[in-house]
Amino acid sequence: MLLISPKTVYHNLRLLDNVDIATSASYRQLAQEALADTEVELVWRQAIANRLNRANHRLEMLTVGDNDSY
């Protein structure tokens, strides 16, 4: 069972670019927990998954250099 609201998880993902690495990792972990929790409404799990996916894509674009492969 998720200990914080799905709404908070969703909003925290918006902050990933503005927090330190440890906090970012914590927010991502909470998002994974929300996605795995069947008690979280599907609409929230979909919104969280979409926001996490976009955040992961932005992170990938920042960390993959010209000489790196996908």
Domain ranges of the chain: 6-63
CA distance 5 to 11: 10
At residue 63, the pLDDT reads: 77
CA distance 37 to 15: 22
Band of residue 61 on the pLDDT scale cut at 50, 70, 90? confident
- Cα-Cα-Cα-Cα torsion 41, 10, 55, 27, nearest 10 degrees, comes to -110
Rounded distance between C-alpha atoms, residue 30 and residue 25, angstroms: 9
- Give, rounded to a whole angstrom, the gap between the first and last alpha carbons of the chain: 35
Does the pLDDT of residue 70 top 60, yes or no? no
Tell me the whole-structure pTM to 2 decimals. 0.85
Using one digit for the tens of pLDDT, what is the confidence trace for 1-47? 888 999 999 999 999 999 999 999 999 999 999 999 999 999 999 99
